[in-house]
Amino acid sequence: MDVDQQVTNLSRFELFFPERRQFFLENSDIFASLGATGLRPFFSRRIGLQNKVRAGARLSGKLGEKWRIGLMNMQTGSSEEEFGANYSVATLQKQVFSRSNINVFMVNKEITADYLEQDTTLANYNRVAGVDFNLASADNRWTGKMFYHQSFSPDNKSQDFTTFGEVEYKTQQLSLAMGYSYVGSGYDAEVGFVRRKGYNRITPGFGYRFYPASNRLANHGFDIGMDNFYSSDIELTDREIEVQYSVSWLNRSLFQLAVQDGFVRLLSPFDPTNSGREQLATGTTYNWKEVSLSYQSNARRLLSYEVSSRYGGFFGGNRYSLQSIINYRIQPIVSMSLIGSYNRIRDLPLDNPNADFYLLGPKLDFTFTRSLFFTTFVQYNEQADNLNMNLRFQWRFAPVSDLFIVYTDNSYSDDLRAKNRALVLKLSYWFN
């Protein structure tokens, strides 16, 4: 019953927003851990995104000491944007060795509406099946993951699978990592989160930490990482090399300095401002360098903050960005925070070469008693021309049982004309 934190999106790909609905969050690790970051075969936010959930059920738990099971089935209704569908996911996990495990799973989306009379080109199902192996040695020095996922659809696309392998060796001082992934151009996970398709990816990494004899400093050290994307015919399309130095204090404060070198070959037209302007052409290439700084203060204090800044090239131009988060607590009643960001883009190789984007989001949390809570959140996003207001009242009338009253409003920032608004009443009760 919470709203997403808005962000300024200057990337070429879809952003990931975590699930917030309580039904999907409970024991969600058995479903959400399938796949890898940016390559998930199941993403619960795909369910009910454009049409309402009519009914659903979930079963998860242990079958003995080394087995876990997860089952979920959801039915959605039809809307103007999407036909009603039935969503199912089933996974079985077995512990192997001391701390490793193997998962086998199946994800299924089946159109249940009478869609053939309206659109005969629409596929009536999409399925993904696979096996994941998660490695964790007894001393936790070796960790890793391997998986193979296959998608199934009526048109039987070629290159309809993905495979992934990653391993890391880590001690208190040293870390070494290597990862490889392949995503076929025909791999289609409609209920998942797959940021891009049709590539080979190689991600080596190395890091080292120093632990000085100090009553203030915890450690400091560097990390070197590389992220390479190649097309199906092994042509380099993306590369980022990053060298980062970090300093960590015993009070959990953290300072980081990083230098990045980037390369991009566009595989499709792209507007680098993501605001409906002119697009850069397919096949054009761009090289740039960036430097970034960030600092995170002691979060245990009543007043804490995070600030980060980045400056460098950006698709033939340059970009300066600044982000900050400020938190203040009046114990035990009020928690206040202010999130802000600014992006300044200049000299793009376009007719309209400049852009400035602001984002601001103050938030207040009130704890009146152990069972009464109120949260208000306002977000202004210039890039999306959106002003969002969210008010949430929560009454916990029994353990893990809540009554929510939520009001949300989205409007245009210039004249405050409403885009949409909603008043929601939700009641949850835990049977024990």
3 pLDDT band (50/70/90 cuts)?
low
Residue 325 has pLDDT above 80, yes or no: yes
3-state secondary structure of 124: coil
How would DSSP label each residue in 339-358?
Answer: EEEEEEEE--SSSS--EEEE
Check whether 1 has a pLDDT greater than 60.
no
**Other Cβ atoms within 10 Å of 168 Cβ, number:** 17
> Across-strand partners of 328?
303, 336
Among residues 34, 113, 44, 105, the alpha carbon closest in space to that of 69 is found at 105
Q: Is the omega angle on the peptide bond into residue 332 within 30 degrees of 0, that is, cis?
A: yes
Report residue 121's pLDDT band, with 50, 70 and 90 as the boundaries: low
Domains of the chain, residue spans: 195-428
The CA-CA-CA angle for residues 24, 26, 27, to 5°, reads 110
Q: Which of the four pLDDT bands, split at 50, 70 and 90, describes residue 105? A: very high
What pLDDT, on the 0 to 100 scale, is given for residue 226? 97
Task: Give the residue with greater pLDDT, 4 vs 10.
Answer: 10
pLDDT category of residue 166 using cuts at 50, 70 and 90 = very high
371 in Cβ contact with 341 (< 8 Å): no
User: Would you state the pLDDT for residue 14?
Assistant: 87
Whether the per-residue pLDDT at 393 is higher than 90: the answer is yes
Where do we find the tokens 């704890």?
367
Q: Which two tokens stand for residue 19?
A: 């699930």
With bands split at pLDDT 50, 70 and 90, how would you rate the model's confidence at 7?
Answer: confident
Torsion over CA: 16, 17, 23, 25 (sign): positive
How far is the C-alpha of 338 from the C-alpha of 376, rounded, in Å?
Answer: 12
Q: Give pLDDT tens digits for 187-223.
A: 999 999 999 999 999 999 999 999 999 999 999 999 9
pLDDT band at 327 (very low <50, low <70, confident <90, very high): very high
> What does the pLDDT read at residue 133?
98
- pLDDT tops 80 at residue 169: yes
Mean of pLDDT values over 332-358: 94
The beta strands (E) that lie in 79-235 are given as: 85-96, 100-111, 125-136, 142-152, 161-170, 174-183, 193-194, 199-210, 217-230
pTM for the structure as a whole: 0.88
What are φ and ψ of residue 395, in 5° steps?
Answer: -120, 115
